[in-house]
Structure 1
Amino acid sequence: MSSIPSLLRDRIAATPDAEAYRTPALDGWTSMTWREVGERVRELALGLAALGAGPGTRVSILCSTRLEWVLADLAVLATGAATTTIYPSNTAAESAFVIGDSGSTIVIAENDEQVAKIRSVRDELPGVTRVVVIEGSPGDDGWVVTLDSLGGDGDYDAMVDAITENDLATLIYTSGTTGRPKGVELTHDNWLYVSRAVRELNLISETDLHFLWLPLSHSFGKLLEVVMIEIGVPTAIDGRLDKIADNLGELRPTVMAAAPRIFEKIHNTVAATQQREGGVKLRIFNWARQTGIRVSRARQREAAIPLTTRLEYALADRLVFSKLRARFGGRIRYFISGAAPLSKDVAEFFDGAGLTILEGYGLTESSAGSFLSLPQSVKFGTVGPPLPGTEVRIAEDGEILIGGRGIMRGYHGLPQETAQALEDGWLRTGDIGEIDSAGRLTITDRKKELIKTSGGKYIAPTYLEGRIKAACPYVSHVFVHGDRRNYVTALVTLDMDVVGPWARAESLPADAGSLREHPRMLEEVDKAIKQVNADLAGYSTVKKFAILAEDFSVESGELTPSLKIKRKAVEERHGKVLDAFYDA
């Protein structure tokens, strides 16, 4: 096979009547078989072709994670066109940039709200001939049509057969943490390689149930889409973040992928609840936690677990861990974490509870998946070995270089940037790392984000940030600062969903603006920072901190859509607070 549509066609032929997707309905969930998926994709593809989609064209999708996103994407690809992804949280100006820069001629929008966003910048998009709305109203001028109205005649199989492995499949724009977003060109072969490599690991099978809520606009979500077609795994799709907990209990999935922020929030919620209850329950929880971590660390060392520890763990499992697993439906075989670094402390807590998190690593430029921890050789703090067929080198300065079929074709319309990123076929990741004797990769930090103090010492900020977040359940985000400064400081934001119940129980202010200055709140954060500092060299310890009145967010411009901190944006917005740390 040479393309994603041909992969889908093969999947339909192999298991036509097996469940492909499950999606929310008024009375629960409704399913589609692979045969039904093929029929719907064929219908949509012929309709999009009638609107002008085809080889050499681009179609933008501006939509949250839902079944229609997947169906629309597969239909676009079947015409020979390439999909350009846009986050639904993007502003009208940001959306216009992606649509215009990619040269998209059709935009598929989720609803009337997203259509209005595109209409507001229509004058800047003369190349857009149609907007197709998934859940909304057609326009009087014919510029906006509904997804359900699409249809047409033509030879679907001939369209699919004409697609080659080197044709452009996806144009994904980077988050832009350090500047203007760049369009990453990924071919059909890029995605086919990564999906087959994941299949070779034998981690997932047709008997699993995969729960997908991650943004399909992100390369991680797109990778999961293709992998599930490759393997034939039924996938329940619902991108509503406020429904994750309910969906886990109702669906009882066996596999779920998430960004680290989700695992941090679950960990902090559990820890804060136990702290609030206090007494015997807190003592039992802390004992169980430590027992689970001991067992996890023994497994990582491949060491024998003493009988007494096994007995203690069995009791801890009955009293604490089994109840935690039940929150996730009781069938999770493992989670997969990607898109940002996962705290080792959080990972060991979950593993001790029987909920192993397999951490992966990749860039949009490497089709999202390049490394993945394996259950039989998991070592937290690493992202595992490279996927089969992926090559890795460590440059003299410690930068990780990746080679193989998953590497992008280049940056759209940016030959100079492409040449800088691709050196003799090797992708310069911008990350610093090292490889252990078992071939597992450890990420030290972003090359461009390493802090160099005025004393010449290098510090990895994300490592410190993850440790502090794991040490204090009430913390949402931490921003470590100190580049060209004489010591390290931190900005802290509060997770009001977690800290609110504690504050009310302690008769403390329930709003972040007042709570952040309260001695009890400052004491809790200070205690966590001192705990982390105790294991660090003096030059890398956090000397001062401040709690901010508002959390970082995508809307405020301080987080990327994949929830990574935009360091320059935070420094600019909170420059006065940071400068005050160093006033003599």
Structure 2
Amino acid sequence: GSTFDLHWMIRCGVHINLISDLTRIADECIEIKPAVLLAVPRVWNKFYDRVNAQFASATGLKKVFVNKAQKASAKRIAKAGVQCDAVAPTKFFDKLWDKLVWSKVRARFGGNIRFCMSGAAALSPDVAAFIQQVGFSCYEGYGLTETSPLVSANGWSGPGTSKLNTVGRVANGVTVTIDTDAWDDPARPDEGEIIVTGPNVMMGYWNNEEATKEVIIEPGTFRTGDLGKLTDGYLSITGRVKSQFKLENGKYVSPSSLEETVKLNPLIEQCVLDGRNMLNTYLVAHPNMSALRAALKKAGIAASDDDAAVCADPKVREFLLNDLKKNNMVAPDWKGYEVARTLILDSEEWTTDNEMLTPSMKVKLRNLLAKHDDEIQAIA
């Protein structure tokens, strides 16, 4: 990531700012007034949740303005027929609703953003579409340290060429092929492991010939370990080869994209979907405790003052699982056999300090499942 985030920007004379704390991103953006904002999906998910929560609580004229702004922007974007790219208002009332609603949302990020980029994990199409409604161009990209890093991205090939739910077209000079032998699901025969070929591919891992042989097929060709598919030249990431699992009924589950839909629920901060060699899937999640307590109070469910006790309460788990089934684990994103039948709640946030996350903020699945092994083994 340093190739783009650091070296390329310095070469181009870009002034780089690092946000000190994700909880202060709005305050610091107002001070910095960034032209480009690079963030992971978790940041965009929180933005989506907070703005929509404020819209939902609006009353009177504010509610009218919000409804008008949402309808006007949706109509304008649909008419333009573009995805990911911001579409500026041109008509009088469209400009009015934009000024009254969307401009105030943009102002929270300094009011100077030209475009945004999201990476490190899949961005929900709902969140991406909402960012476009706000008036930001938001592009997803894909790359790895081993590929220097860019493989593909939306936005680079010009206006009107980006597609939601993809990481864009493959970069110039790079070739991507899909090894379908790495994915055995007959329901999705076009998916497989992403193989990257190009001058951007590393020579190998330093002093680790064995690891190099596992991923370098031949000089310049690299096995990414990621699952994906190519459709009309656009690359989509669908999961990780190692994270896919098979249920007892023989059905394959690729959890990555499914987990992202769960994270859109304002009551969920972090989650993992698993169920390998089991009859049904289950979900392990770290909830947003303040939001969960508020939801429980509204539902008339008593909650302990102790976070661990709340997370262990069967009534709380049932309440939250039902909420997820109703609002997040739904078709067409979820198939029936993928829907979790059991929810395990973890009151402790997953961080690098407690060995639940890697330095790149990915969940250490083995550590997490070991922590909750007793509860997992108890699943019927």
Could you state the TM-score of these two structures normalised by the residue count of structure 1?
A: 0.55
The offset of 1:381, in angstroms, is 0.9
Map of 1:389 onto structure 2? 173
Partners of 2:296 and 2:64 lie apart in 1 by: 21
Counterpart of 1:336 in 2: which secondary structure? strand
Q: Deviations over 1:109-137 (max 9, x none)?
A: xxxxxxxxxxxxxxxxxxxxxxxxxxxxx
Which residue does the alignment assign to 1:367? Answer: 148
Question: How much has 1:523 moved relative to structure 2?
Answer: 3.2
In angstroms, what is the RMSD of aligned CA positions? 3.2
| Equivalent-residue separation in structure 1 for 2:280 and 2:297 (angstroms) | 35
Distance 1:511 1:528 in 2: 23
Whether 2:316 is the aligned partner of 1:490: answer no
By how many angstroms is 1:521 displaced?
A: 7.8
Is contact 1:300–1:377 with CA below 8 Å preserved after alignment?
no
Q: Would the aligned equivalents of 1:271 and 1:473 in 2 still touch at CA under 8 Å?
A: no
Aligned counterpart for 1:454 among listed residues 248, 251, 259:
248
For residues 505 and 319 of structure 1, the distance between their equivalents in structure 2, rounded to whole angstroms, comes to 31
Q: Which moved more, 1:239-248 or 1:370-379?
A: 239-248
Do 2:176 and 2:197's aligned partners in 1 also have CA atoms closer than 8 Å?
yes
**Post-superposition offset of 1:299:** 5.1
| Pair 1:278–1:487, CA change in 2 (3 A) | farther
Deviation of the 1:420 alpha carbon: 1.6
Change (3 A) 1:352 1:409: same
* Structure 2 Cα separation of the partners of residues 228 and 269 of structure 1: 31
Does structure 2 conserve the Cα–Cα contact (< 8 Å) formed by 1:253 and 1:331?
A: yes
Structure 2 counterparts to residues 203-218 of structure 1, below 5 A: none
Q: Determine which structure has more spread, i.e. the larger CA radius of gyration.
A: 1
Structure 1 residues 504 and 538 mapped into 2: Cα distance closer, same or farther (>3 Å)?
closer
Match of 1:479 in 2: 272
Q: Tell me whether 1:331 sits opposite 2:125 in the alignment.
A: no
**Gaps (5+ residues) in structure 1?**
1-219, 303-308
Assess if the C-alpha contact under 8 Å between 1:402 and 1:428 holds in 2. Answer: yes
Letter in 1 for 2:327: Q
C-alpha distance in 1 between matches for 2:136 and 2:321 = 27
Alpha carbons of 1:380 and 1:316: their partners in 2 closer, same or farther (altered >3 Å)?
farther
State how far apart, in whole Å, the 2-side matches of 1:311 and 1:511 are.
53
Please state how far the C-alpha of 1:389 moved relative to its aligned partner.
Answer: 1.7
Shift of 1:506: 8.5
Secondary structure at the aligned position of 1:225 is classed as helix
Alignment-mate amino acid for residue 160 of structure 2: Q
Q: Following superposition of structure 1 onto structure 2, how do residues 212-231 of structure 1 map, counting pairs within 5 Å?
A: 220-231=1-12
* Preserved contact between residue 468 and residue 529 of structure 1 (Cα < 8 Å): no
Report the residue type matching 2:345 in the other structure. Answer: I
Distance 1:283 1:520, change over 3 A: farther
Q: Percent identity?
A: 30
After superposition, the Cα gap between the structure-2 partners of 1:380 and 1:296, relative to the gap in structure 1 and judged at 3 Å, is farther
Seen in structure 2, the aligned counterparts of structure 1 residues 310 and 395 have a Cα distance that, compared at 3 Å, is: farther
Q: Who is 2:328 aligned against?
A: 532
Amino acid at match of 1:552: W
What pairs up with 1:34-53 in 2 under 5 angstroms? none
SS where residue 201 of structure 2 aligns?
Answer: coil
1:53 alignment counterpart:
none
- Give the Cα–Cα distance (whole angstroms) in 2 for the partners of residues 393 and 540 of structure 1: 27
Deviation, structure 1 residue 223:
2.6
1:544 match: 342
| Counterpart pick for 1:554 among 335, 349, 352 | 352
C-alpha distance in structure 1 between counterparts of 2:101 and 2:292, whole Å: 22
d(CA) in 2 for partners of 1:298, 1:487: 43
Q: Distance in 1 between matches of 2:256 and 2:314?
A: 27
State whether residues 180 and 193 of structure 2, in contact with CA within 8 Å, keep that contact through their aligned partners in structure 1: yes
Paired with 1:270 and 1:441, the residues of 2 have a C-alpha distance of 30
Q: Superposed, which structure 2 residues align to 1:113-128 within 5 Å? A: none
Q: Which amino acid aligns with 2:43?
A: I
Q: Map 1:411-422 to 2 at 5 A.
A: 411-422=205-216
Any residues of structure 2 matched to 1:8-407 within 5 Å, and which? 220-237=1-18, 239-275=20-56, 277=57, 279-280=59-60, 285=66, 292=73, 296=77, 314=95, 316-374=97-155, 375-397=159-181, 398-407=192-201
Which secondary structure state, in structure 2, belongs to the residue aligned with residue 265 of structure 1? helix
Q: Distance in 1 between matches of 2:251 and 2:280?
A: 10
Q: CA deviation at 1:501?
A: 6.8
Post-superposition offset of 1:345: 1.8
- Aligned CA distance change for structure 1 residues 262 and 556 (closer, same or farther; 3 Å): same
2:259 to 437, 459, 465: 465
Residue identity matched to 2:234: R
List per-residue Cα deviations over 1:11-40 (Å, max 9, x = no partner).
xxxxxxxxxxxxxxxxxxxxxxxxxxxxxx
| Aligned counterpart, 1:577 | 375
Q: CA deviation at 1:338?
A: 1.3
The letter for the 1-side match of 2:210 is Q
Are the aligned partners of 1:258 and 1:338 in contact in 2 as well (CA < 8 Å)?
A: yes
Secondary structure class of the residue paired with 1:542: coil
- Check the 8 A contact 2:329/2:339 in 1, yes or no: yes
Q: State yes or no: 1:427 paired with 2:222.
A: yes
Give the CA deviation at 1:286.
6.8
Alpha-carbon distance change, 539 to 288 in structure 1, aligned in 2, over 3 angstroms: farther
Contact kept in structure 2, 1:361 and 1:372, CA below 8 Å: yes
Find the aligned partners of 1:498 and 1:221 in 2 and give their Cα distance.
35
Query: How much has 1:542 moved relative to structure 2?
Result: 2.1
Aligned to 2:204: 410
What is the CA deviation profile of residues 425-457 of structure 1, one whole-angstrom value per residue up to 9, with x for unaligned ones?
A: 3110011111121x2100111011112111111
Q: Structure 1 296/496 Cα, relative in aligned 2: closer, same or farther at 3 Å?
A: farther
Matched, 1:436 2:220: no
Structure 2 runs not aligned, ≥5 long: 84-89, 182-191
Opposite residue 350 of structure 1, the aligned amino acid is I
What's the counterpart of residue 194 of structure 1? none
CA contact (8 A) 2:262 2:329 kept: no
Whether contact under 8 Å (1:288, 1:316) holds in the other structure is: yes
Residues 441 and 475 (structure 1), Cα distance of their counterparts in 2 relative to 1, 3 Å cut: same
Please give the alpha-carbon distance, in whole angstroms, between the structure 2 residues aligned to 1:313 and 1:377.
24
Task: Quickly say closer, same or farther: Cα 1:292–1:559, change in 2 above 3 A.
Answer: farther
Which 10-residue stretch deviates more, 257-266 or 221-230?
A: 221-230
Local SS of the residue matching 1:513: helix
Distance 1:372 1:498, change over 3 A: farther
Give how far 1:514 is off: 4.5
- What is the Cα deviation at residue 370 of structure 1? 1.5
TM-score for both structures, normalised by structure 2: 0.82
